[in-house]
Amino acid sequence: MKYINNKLLIDKISVDRIIKTFGTPVYCYSYKQIKENILKFQKNFIKTKPLICFAVKANNNIRILSEIGKLGLGADVVSKGELLAALKSKIKPKKIVFSGVGKTYDEIMFATKKNILLINAESKSEIDTIVKIAKKTKRVIDIGIRLNPNVDANTIKEITTGKNINKFGLNEKEVIELINTYKNSKQINIKCLSVHIGSQITSHVPYIRMLKSVQKIIDKSNFAFEYIDLGGGMGINYELNAKTLNYSRYAKQVVKFIKKNNVKIILEPGRSIIGNTGYLLAKIIYIKKTRKINFIIINTGMNDLMRPALYKAYHRIIPTKKIQNKIFKRHDFVGPICETTDKFLSTKSYQKVDEGDNIVICDVGAYGKVLSSNYNLRTNAYEILIKNSKVFKISKKISLENII
Ligand code: LLP
């Protein structure tokens, strides 16, 4: 994305032109950026030869998933719906892992029949359910056990998953007990130890602590796992000049870890693959000026993009026409929803903008569209993809009539 002659382009296509054709609000993705991110991610971990399973929860658009699949990635899914989406996108079952604390009997049965690579179990009760299904289907089911290493990922509290107060995984003692109970089971085959400590992680330090905790389990249990699934969580730069994850320091430790343990690695990145590939294109409906604040009211709201309301997440908002002069007054970009948290951004200054102008909310490819709703009975933004200088519509706009 860049300005040429003060007009904003995404992959060399004018954003105003896209908006003229497709309207607003619309989620727009860049295939070029998806490919670039995947190549970069693969390169960062090249020496660890991982199976990279894209976390479908970050973006479940079928076209996006099939492009990601074609670029060589598998899938990490957390529901029957996500599993169906991954399969529909032609991702091979043997490249799919199933995570999540609340998989139902039906979901596990479905996944078992589809012969996916692993079901990563998160509780003793879930393992009991898997055993039941194995007996019923007369199969041996390959599973992983998810460790909760009690490591602080130093990220937003709401997206931390690896501390002992979080619902995810099992603690060291429980994992070892389960290994001892089930290592000779005829119904389940423990193949993997999985772990995922949180999302939007920008330091390698928590990952190193996580690896230590995994090592402890291996040493104490003396069990030979075929796979270690290290989860995802790699953070991206929502703010220019923000702190970035040092991939090489993380990957170096993973290499050491593999040499010591002779295991295969699985990674489950979501945001780092798709986050910066997506833009939410919108229009300014009204500008409401109060003494202190210029409220820029746009035609997309928290129903389309929940992250700011849910986590106070920061997303850059940029105009499609650039003007150099700044107005030094607080500007709040807000949506039409009847909630005070329906606010995308508050800035101390902004360039002059007018009603009818187009704007772009950046880095919304991950956890954007997937978290959207019809709150206030609004239709949601649909999605388009820019690939090889062409723009494709990749999801349907559901009409108000159908929603109602
Ligand atoms: N694996 C597991 C087991 C996960 O729970 C998650 C994310 C991932 C992988 C992918 O993490 P990523 O690489 O995308 O950080 N809605 C929040 C993020 C929730 C993440 C949930 N789990 C947000 O908008 O920031």
Ligand 1 neighbour 268 (Cβ under 6 A): yes
Q: Please calculate the CA angle 20-22-28 and round it to the nearest 5 degrees.
A: 110
What pLDDT is stored for residue 153 in this prediction?
A: 80
Q: Which one is predicted more confidently, 162 or 102?
A: 102
Ligand 1 neighbour 308 (Cβ under 6 A): no
Q: What is the mean pLDDT of residues 266-280?
A: 98
Ligand 1 neighbour 155 (Cβ under 6 A): no
Q: Which atom of ligand 1 is nearest to the CA of 120?
A: 3
Please give the CATH superfamily to which domain 31-271 belongs: Alanine racemase (3.20.20.10)
Rounded to the nearest whole angstrom, what is the distance from the C-alpha of residue 57 to the centroid of ligand 1? 7
Q: What is the mean pLDDT of residues 45-51?
A: 97
Q: Which atom of ligand 1 is nearest to the CA of 146?
A: 3
Q: Whose CA is nearest to atom 23 of ligand 1?
A: 367
Regarding pTM above 0.95, the answer is: yes
Residue spans of the domains in the chain: they are 2-29+275-403, 31-271
Ligand 1 neighbour 363 (Cβ under 6 A): no
The answer to whether residues 143 and 192 touch, using CB atoms and an 8 Å cutoff, is yes
Q: Whose CA is nearest to atom 16 of ligand 1?
A: 367
Fold match between domain 2-29+275-403 and domain 31-271: no
Q: How confident is the model over 59-98, as pLDDT tens digits?
A: 999 999 999 999 999 999 999 999 999 999 999 999 999 9
Give the Cβ contact number of residue 313 at 10 Å.
19
**338 given a catalytic annotation:** yes
Amino acid of residue 347: T
Considering the four listed CATH numbers 3.90.1010.10, 3.40.50.300, 2.40.37.10, 1.20.1250.30, the one that applies to the domain covering 2-29+275-403 is 2.40.37.10
Q: How confident is the model over 50-59, as pLDDT tens digits?
A: 999 999 999 9
Q: Please, where are the H alpha helices in 2-117? A: 15-22, 31-44, 62-70, 80-88, 105-113
Q: How many CA atoms lie within 13 A of 96 on its CB side?
A: 26
Amino acid of residue 45: F
Q: Which atom of ligand 1 is nearest to the CA of 275?
A: 14
